[in-house]
Amino acid sequence: MPVTQDQRSEIDALRGTAQPTRRATVASLEEILYEPITVLDHGFIRVIDYMGDDSAIVQAARVSYGKGTKKLLEDAGLIRYLMRHWHSTPFEMAEIKYHVKLPIFVARQWIRHRTANVNEYSARYSKVQDEFYIPAPGQLGIQSSANRQGRGAVLDEAQAAKVIDLLREDAVRNYRNYAWMLNEDDAGAPLDADRSGLARELARMNLTLNTYTEWYWKTDLYNLMHFLRLRADAHAQYEIRVYAEAMLDTLKRWVPHTYAAFMDYRMGSAQISATGLGLIRRMLAGERVTQEASGLSKREWRELMEVLGLPSA
Active site residues: 231
**Residue 91 · residue 258 · CB < 8 Å:** yes
Angstrom distance (rounded) from CA 251 to CA 229? 12
Distances, alpha carbon 163 to alpha carbons 130, 141, 154, 167, 212, in Å = 19, 11, 12, 6, 19
Query: Other C-beta atoms within 10 Å of 247: how many?
Result: 23
Residues 6+ apart with CB under 8 A from 54: 75, 76, 79, 255, 256, 257, 258
**Residue 283 · residue 289 · CB < 8 Å:** yes
